[in-house]
Structures are given as C-alpha cells and as structure tokens.
Amino acid sequence: MLDDLYAGALADADARREMRPFGHVEAAALDRSPALDALSALRPADRVKIIAEVKRASPSRGDLSVIADPASLAVSYATGGASAISVLTEGRRFKGTLADLEAVRDVVDVPVLRKDFIADPYQVFEARAAGADLVLLIVAGLPQARLVELHELVRSLGMTALIEAHSADEVRRGLDAGAEVLGVNARDLSTFELDRDLFGRLADAIPSGVVRVAESAVSSPADVAHYRRSGADVVLVGEALVTHGDPIDALTSFLEV
C-alpha cells in the first residue's frame, strides 16, 4: 500500500511538472513570504496541542466528509484553538489537492502542514509555493540519504519537517536525520492496522528537546488524554474532527483533556 501511495504521488507530481516546470515552482517558492515558525507553535506547553486535519477520505475508511470549502473548515479549526492545520494534498486515495492547501493558507494565521507522500524535491518546492509551513516526511517511504536531503531542503526554505516514524528503528533514523518534530503514527502504513499504544512504547526514545507528535487512532477526548499521558506534546487529529459535525466543539473537547 505504501509503495502504491508513493508511486501515485510521484506520478501525479511528474504530471504537474509537465505543466509547471521545476524552475517556475522553485521561483514561486522563493518568492513566497517567509514561512510561519511552526516549531515554536508546536513546542511543549502546559496542555496538549492539536494539529487539526482537513481530510476528505482515506485508503482505510474511504470517504469521510465532502469538505466543499476547506478554507471554512480551517477557520473553524483555528477558532477552536488548533496550533496548526494539516491539509491532505494527495488526490488518488485522500481526494486532496494543493489548491486546498492554498485556500487554507489564505484564511488562517497558524502554521499549515502539507501532508502527502513527499519523495522528490519538486514536491517540497510545491509545498512552499502553495504556502506550507510544515512538510510531512515519512521515514518508511524514504531511503536515509533522501530523507536527509529532503529535510535539509525543507529547512533551507524556512519550513519545518514533521518526520513520521512507525518503529524504534524509524525513530532512530528520524533523529539521525535531524528531526525537530517527530511523529509516531499508530497506523501501520503497510497493513493499515492501528496500535494506539505504539506511541507510548516509542516516546522515551525521543529526546525531550524534540517535539513529540502522536498521530492516528483518535476518536474521542479519552484517546487524546491517553497520548498526553504517554508523553505527547501534540496530537494530530483528522477523522474524528471531519466526521463530528461540529469541529469547534470537537476540538474544544480534545483540548480540555
């Protein structure tokens, strides 16, 4: 599954490159106003922080929400207290677009994450050109040399990388690549099975100076509280927010744990 997701994302990026060459995207990225300081926005505080996600669908659950107006949803998230907003831009399985990210960037003043299967520098420049402040880099999908290369590029453009791990070895690789924000995803991207306790087993391997992000397996405030007790500084929440019906109410309940 993960290989297929990367292959599709890279094929789609190649198609976009045919219409918008690398040089044009690079120039647009460099012409953007500076990225917001996502690292400061996510640093540990006396209560949990939330990255709220704009997510229409997923390979494991299918369609989740129509989200005709991602900007409006993002405003609700920011109003409700989200520290950052994640936008799925992968089109084949998650039904997202870069236009969604651009629309969100235009209406909120919190950092915005491009969540996609990033494996090519072109995609990083695309992210900055669209206004992203954060870029997801998944350790499982990248050779170490490419992970380091992309992380350095993200930082050179003034953005922050959310480096995502699924095992102790991947945590080590993420730290070796210089991770300042490291996420542990409870969803195995090969089988799509969930293990909510994975974060707790790996948290101690993440140094205190690195922002610890728990991802996936959140359906209620109790799940956020579980992650917080396990050492999470930040929890990324997607499905539970887009399927709730009242994102501000749902977000408020998550932040009160």
Q: What would the pLDDT profile of 51-79 be if each residue is shown by its tens digit?
A: 999 999 988 878 888 899 999 999 999 99
Q: Hunting for tokens 């405003």 — which residue is that?
A: 75
Q: Known catalytic residue: 164? A: yes
Instruction: Identify the active-site residue in 90, 102, 215, 239.
Output: 215
Instruction: Identify the active-site residue in 164, 170, 180, 239.
Output: 164
Residues in the chain: 257
Instruction: Identify the active-site residue in 65, 76, 86, 216.
Output: 216
Which is it for the CA torsion 123, 127, 128, 134, positive or negative?
Answer: negative
Q: Known catalytic residue: 65? A: no
Q: 171, exposed or middle or buried, with CB in 10 Å at 0-12, 13-18, 19+? A: buried
Q: What is the pLDDT of residue 65?
A: 86
Q: What is the pLDDT of residue 245?
A: 80
Q: Known catalytic residue: 216? A: yes
Q: What is the pLDDT of residue 1?
A: 85
Q: What is the pLDDT of residue 188?
A: 80
Q: What is the rounded CA–CA span in Å between residue 63 and residue 19?
A: 29
Assess contact for 179 and 163: CB atoms under 8 A.
yes
Ranges in the chain, pLDDT < 70 = none
Q: What is the pLDDT of residue 63?
A: 85
Q: What is the pLDDT of residue 61?
A: 79
Q: Known catalytic residue: 115? A: yes
Q: What is the rounded CA–CA span in Å between residue 135 and residue 50?
A: 16
Q: Known catalytic residue: 185? A: yes
* Total-model pTM: 0.96
Report all structural domains of the chain as residue ranges with CATH numbers, in order of start: 1-256 (3.20.20.70)
Instruction: Identify the active-site residue in 26, 53, 90, 170.
Output: 53
Which is it for the CA torsion 166, 140, 136, 66, positive or negative?
Answer: negative
Instruction: Identify the active-site residue in 58, 83, 102, 115.
Output: 115
